[in-house]
Amino acid sequence: DVVLTQTPSTLSATIGQSVSISCRSSQSLLDSAGNTYLYWYLQRPGQSPQLLIYLVSNLGSGVPNRFSGSGSGTDFTLKISGVEAEDLGVYYCMQVTHAPWTFGGGTKLELK
């Protein structure tokens, strides 16, 4: 199975600070058709996960543009340009290039 390693596991930030989360894959997520199926989710406390970014860098519906995704192959990054209080929770990367679909271990974003 593809292993997704997220760093850091915990991130402390102040409101307005910009932060980045890394997601490294044990295999390339580029498929034979040239697509990279890497997604980012946010799970707020007590809620279900919600999509932030799809296909590496595309913003999900209704997601603020302070969120951005980048990367290729095995290395991916989620950036939040100016953390807001509503951004607190656990962030997960997920890949669906290879079966079975797998998630990273999560990065908890908390207020400093």
Partner 1 sequence: QVNLLQSGAALVKPGASVKLSCKASGYTFTDYYIHWVKQSHGKSLEWIGYINPNSGYTNYNEKFKSKATLTVDKSTNTAHMELSRLTSEDSATYYCTNWELDYWGQGVMVAVSS
DSSP 5-68: EEE-SEEEE-TT-EEEEEEEESS--B-TTS-B-EEEEEE-TTS--EEEEETTTEEPTT--TTEE
Amino acid at 44: R
Q: How far is the CB of 57 from partner 1 (least distance, A)?
A: 17
| Chain residues in the site for partner 1 (CB under 8 A) | 48-51, 60-61, 92, 94, 99-106
> Judged by CB, which is closer to partner 1: 24, or 106?
106
Q: How far is the CB of 67 from partner 1 (least distance, A)?
A: 14
> Judged by CB, which is closer to partner 1: 60, or 81?
60
| Length of the chain, in residues | 112
Q: How far is the CB of 14 from partner 1 (least distance, A)?
A: 25
